[in-house]
Amino acid sequence: MSPLDISLADLIARLDEELPEADELARISEARLRAQTLSDLGDQLIDHYVSNAKRTGASWTQIGDAIGVSKQAAQQRHAPAAFERFTHLNRHSIVLAQESARTHKHDFIGTGHLLLGLLGEPQGLAHEVLTAKGGSERSVREAVEAAMPPAGAKALRGHIPFRPESKEAIEQAHRASAGLGHDWVGTEHMLLGLIHAEESTAGRVLRCLGFTPDELRDTVRTLAAERKSGGGEN
């Protein structure tokens, strides 16, 4: 097995470079947030290969043996979920949404965090659509930040739950994908899911930026087809 192309020294150097004025206590807090993000990414890495194994006919007993847990534990932890058909880029946007919630010290993942997650994935189609309409990533980010609740007092450790409107947006993303005849749920479908959660923070921000559901759907249909024909991921 080849080693990962990342080291502790790399992580330390990057954190120190990005927070040159921070004291050691502030760096501890930031390091914990980044450690949680790495853990979230690791979970999604395992989920990806569990899904692949299930598609090729592997049993839960075999998958549990590969992970090093019981059949029941593997099935409970890695059973098909809301993100199974999400593209790699869209799964990464969910990790970034979780990181955004922790950074803002919120005890929930709201639609604003999901929107920031999409904005943080520059290879995603949603990022292209958002910045084309909003003028720049920075201006869109500022609009989202301004609409979000104030930061909490303390960052939450461990699992952060999705708010009901965020769950609704994820369900709407699946419906948007099916409605367009797609067999994947990409960042563009997540964007459509968010605009259909009309009373949510993200829904309001998207409308303020000038998006409408019908126009966004037409834009997504056109751009997704172009990316798909070019072999790109959404």
What DSSP designation does 209 have? T
Rounded Cα–Cα distance for residues 4 and 10 (Å): 12
Question: Which of 37-41, 95-99, 188-192 has the highest average model confidence (pLDDT)?
Answer: 188-192
- Crossing angle of helices 8-18 and 24-55, in 10° steps, is 130
Of 88-97, 122-131, 135-144, 221-230, where does mean pLDDT reach its minimum?
A: 221-230
- Joined together, the tokens standing for residue 38 give 């790495």
Q: Is the pLDDT of residue 163 over 60?
A: yes
Rounded Cα–Cα distance for residues 123 and 125 (Å): 7
Question: What is each CA distance from 154 to 107, 151, 172, in whole angstroms?
Answer: 9, 9, 31
Q: Is the pTM value of this prediction over 0.75?
A: no
Question: Which of 42-56, 61-75, 76-90 has the highest average model confidence (pLDDT)?
Answer: 61-75
- DSSP output for 34-67: HHHHHHHHHHHHHHHHHHHHHHTT--HHHHHHHH
